[in-house]
């Protein structure tokens, strides 16, 4: 893998899985376990919405107190109206991991955006995925005018290979896939370049009934913590049609603010969208053989601690 500087990145622990499976808490617990052994450890958040400033409650960012305990990268990098791509993220993550590697540390890459995890841990050549701001703007305008179903149908007709690996319910990803199809055609993804240090891959899963309960509980907690006010502030500062605000929780909050639903209905809609989102994430992560499945229905830390100890022994 070529990273640009020639430095070797830190050994990497990857924690993936659907939303509300406990990835953030586990990442912090592992980092503190490593700190206790005198090993520097830092977390890289692989969440495509946590890069946006001001979107804190709705994206379930690590709290300021948690970030004070463990250094986090990949959070609060741009405003919601600024573009930020997987290529930008990969460059940011590798720079942080190379700095950590130079200090003898171990990185923890944690999040639910599967392609971002893969771009770093498998070394996807993101430079081979072209970007054109003018093409993107035209596609987003057309998507807003014609709707998501029409855009998804266009993608399926133009680039069936791309369509098959795209979440056709996600307008931002459909627009991005159309952009790639226009600029590059319906070619397979670039071959992975690899990661230049050892990797321990973990995928958290939770039994469906318990997972649904956690999702509903988190939705209520986010609204109790001030999600509606966060959404109100963001809408006052930015265009609510921005792709960043397709993140779950913001449109539900705005619907409540506009009198289109009750607060209870907004919370329920938030939870229902997250349940559907988690199903799509599970489909993605089932195709990730490098991430060993760990059941997080009960506390996964003892099982993961054993895997971590074996990983550390392999580095010696």
Per-residue pLDDT of 36-75, as tens digits, reads: 999 999 999 999 999 999 999 999 999 999 999 999 999 9
pTM of the model: 0.86
Cβ 15 vs Cβ 108: under 8 Å:
yes
DSSP 200: E
Residue spans per domain, the chain: 1-127+191-316, 133-184
Cβ 159 vs Cβ 185: under 8 Å:
yes
Per-residue pLDDT of 109-161, as tens digits, reads: 999 999 999 999 999 877 777 777 788 788 888 888 888 899 999 999 999 98
Q: What are the structure tokens assigned to 138, written together?
A: 């035209």
Per-residue pLDDT of 241-255, as tens digits, reads: 998 998 999 999 999
**Distance between CA atoms of residues 166 and 173, nearest Å:** 7
Beta strands of the chain (E only): which ranges?
A: 12-16, 41-45, 72-73, 106-110, 199-205, 292-295
Q: Is the pLDDT of residue 277 over 90?
A: yes
The CATH number, out of the four listed (3.30.530.20, 3.40.50.2300, 3.40.50.720, 3.40.50.300), of the domain defined by the range 1-127+191-316: 3.40.50.300
Cβ 96 vs Cβ 44: under 8 Å:
yes
Question: 155 CB contacts (<8 Å, ≥6 apart)?
Answer: 162, 163, 166, 168, 174, 177, 178, 181
Per-residue pLDDT of 3-45, as tens digits, reads: 445 589 999 999 999 999 999 999 999 999 999 999 999 999 9
Per-residue pLDDT of 288-306, as tens digits, reads: 889 999 999 999 999 999 9
Closest CA to 205 of 122, 283, 276, 117: 283
Q: Which residue's entry shows tokens 């007709």? A: 157
Query: What was the pLDDT predicted at 162?
Result: 87
Number of Cβ within 10 Å of residue 130's Cβ equals 11
Per-residue pLDDT of 153-193, as tens digits, reads: 999 999 998 888 888 877 878 888 898 889 888 887 777 88
**Distance between CA atoms of residues 44 and 148, nearest Å:** 31
Question: 156 CB contacts (<8 Å, ≥6 apart)?
Answer: 163, 168
**Distance between CA atoms of residues 6 and 98, nearest Å:** 9
Alpha helices in 64-185 (DSSP H): 64-69, 86-102, 114-121, 133-146, 148-158, 160-164, 171-184
């Amino acid at each position: 893998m070529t990273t640009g500087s020639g430095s070797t990145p830190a050994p990497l622990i990857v924690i993936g899985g659907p939303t509300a499976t406990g990835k953030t808490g586990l990442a912090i617990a592992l980092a503190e376990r490593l700190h206790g052994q005198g090993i520097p450890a830092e977390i890289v958040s692989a969440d495509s919405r946590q890069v946006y400033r001001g979107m804190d409650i709705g994206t379930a960012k690590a709290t300021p107190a948690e970030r004070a305990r463990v250094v986090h990268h990949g959070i609060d990098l741009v405003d919601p109206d600024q573009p930020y791509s997987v290529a930008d993220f990969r460059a940011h993550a590798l720079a942080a991991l190379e700095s950590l590697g130079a200090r003898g540390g171990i990185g923890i890459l944690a999040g639910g955006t599967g392609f971002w995890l893969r771009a770093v841990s498998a070394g996807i050549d993101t430079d081979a995925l072209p970007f054109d701001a003018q093409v993107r703007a035209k596609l987003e305008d057309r998507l807003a005018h014609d709707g998501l179903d029409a855009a998804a149908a266009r993608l399926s007709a133009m680039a069936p290979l791309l369509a098959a690996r795209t979440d056709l319910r996600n307008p931002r990803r459909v627009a991005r896939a159309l952009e790639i199809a226009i600029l590059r055609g319906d070619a397979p993804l670039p071959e992975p370049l690899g990661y230049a240090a050892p990797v321990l891959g973990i995928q958290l899963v939770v039994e469906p009934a318990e997972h649904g309960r956690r999702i509903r509980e988190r939705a209520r907690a986010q609204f109790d913590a001030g999600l509606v006010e966060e959404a109100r502030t963001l809408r006052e500062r930015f265009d609510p049609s921005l792709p960043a605000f397709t993140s779950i929780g913001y449109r539900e909050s705005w619907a409540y603010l506009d009198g289109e639903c009750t607060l209870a209905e907004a919370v329920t809609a938030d939870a229902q969208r997250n349940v559907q989102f988690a199903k799509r994430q599970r489909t993605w992560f089932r195709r990730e053989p490098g991430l060993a499945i760990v059941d997080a229905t009960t506390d996964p830390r003892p099982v993961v601690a054993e895997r971590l100890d074996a990983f550390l022994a392999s580095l010696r």
